[in-house]
Amino acid sequence: MEYRKEHDSMGEVRVPADRFWGAQTQRSHENFEIGVGIETMPREIITAFGYLKKAAAQANHQLRPDKMTDKKLDVISAACDQVISGALMEHFPLVVWQTGSGTQSNMNANEVIAHVANRLATFKLCHPNDDINMSQSSNDTFPTAMHISAVMILEDRVLPAVEALAREFRILEIQNEGVVKSGRTHLQDAVPIRFSQEISGWRSSLERDAELIRASLEPLRELALGGTAVGTGLNAPEGFDFLVAERISLLTGKSFVTAKNKFHALTSKDELVFAHGALKALAADLMKIANDIRWLASGPRLGLGEIRIPANEPGSSIMPGKVNPTQCEQVTMVAVQVMGNDTAISMAASQGNFELNVFMPVMAYNFLQSARLLAESMVSFTRNCVTGIVADREKMHHNLHHSLMLVTALNPHIGYENAAKTAHLAYEEDISLKEACVKLGFLTEEEFDKVFHPEEMA
């Protein structure tokens, strides 16, 4: 392999000749050989750096035109566009497990953008620190990248996936409007419910989760950029924070504002904790919904068997013909991962010391993984399971009319205690509620038929 020599304040470093990064990125690449190739900095963070570096160059050009010249702005903007497009992703090799402020990833962005900008200029025009990092610090750029990436993935991927799944449940509701089945509480038979009502509970949970995610977006729109090292804005021109937030909004098509208090923005990560809490709520509801569906589909002969779900692949390497609820299982595993990520994010956010939180990369990694997994899981679940759910109406009718909890309809006519006696006798002697009620002398057959209408109980 061929190398070129790069230098930083600590001296010279050999960098692979075909890579665009510089000395500080190479040092990090060599010093943190942890999860290499697997747990690299999320591409959403790299994309966010492309946006914020371009926005910073535009703001600096307006506020410090003597430093950020027209030529520099042109080549830096073009280089940032390549970062945003993903064309330079191979030049961002750093792992999550680096300095807790994300300094190396900020410098990775600075070095790559400077290298590409200089290639476009055909001479060494831009310096990673003096030009690409102008008016910035790793301490305010990394939390800014976190917020940009969080807003973008929530708006562009998570919310559309939630809404698509909720719409599919709405269709399923309409298809099953008149179907009455046995309700269940404590995994035991309960009073009747319409299947459409049961589905509406799933749909409504998802709609509420979407509301919570939207509410969590507003605090994330505040950006730390302009606070520089400790929140004072040292080395940033007056008005830079407002202008750069405005530029980021224009570039991303999302709404962002400068943080009201930069000292809070650098050290506290409560906005990310709050937003991930909304993702955890979504994960909890998806766990419940997926479990309901696989319970209802259990069988096909020895379980509840009240619905049929698509048979996507063979379920066993030893039992021929077995089909498993694999889509439900992927949803529940994703939910568990998100809940674990929430613990990591909560612990990391509690570790802000003085003017900086130094657990930011792991927070970004876990947050974006949760959002990405949830979005992809819901898309798969909608397409490969929910769209193919079919109610087994005969099985629902059979289970409904064999439920002992229908005895609840008799409470107004024979009283709670006599109704309980009726249910116990029916269970013990394996006879119908009608037979038990008549045998105990509480009602005649005619009286029973007059008051007992299970479908009307829903």
**CA-to-CA dists, residue 85 to 44, 115, 406, angstroms:** 11, 17, 61
Number of H helices, E strands in the chain: 17, 10
Residue 316 is a catalytic residue:
yes
| CA geometry: angle 190, 162, 313, nearest 5 deg | 75
d(CA 359, CA 142): 11
Q: Give every CB contact of residue 134 below 8 A, 6+ residues apart in sequence.
A: 56, 57, 60, 64, 67, 68
Question: Do the bridges between strand 257-258 and strand 222-223 make them parallel or antiparallel, or are there none, so unpaired?
Answer: parallel
In this structure, the number of other CB atoms found within 10 A of the CB of residue 8 comes to 17
Cα separation of 109 and 46, whole Å?
7
401 is catalytic: no
Q: Which residues pair with 181 in a beta bridge?
A: 193
**Looking at the DSSP assignment, which residues form a beta bridge with residue 16?**
3
> Strand, coil or helix: what is 331?
helix
Burial pattern 80-105, b for ≥16 Cβ within 10 A else e, equals: bbbbbeeebeebbbbbbebbbbbbbb
Name the packing angle between helices 195-220 and 138-153 (round to 10°).
160
The whole-angstrom separation of Cα 129 and Cα 24 is 11
Q: Which of 85, 204, 255, 316 is catalytic?
A: 316
Query: Tokens 């990248």 appear where?
Result: 145
Measured CA to CA, the distance from residue 143 to residue 227 in angstroms comes to 11
Supply the residues annotated as catalytic. Answer: 186, 316
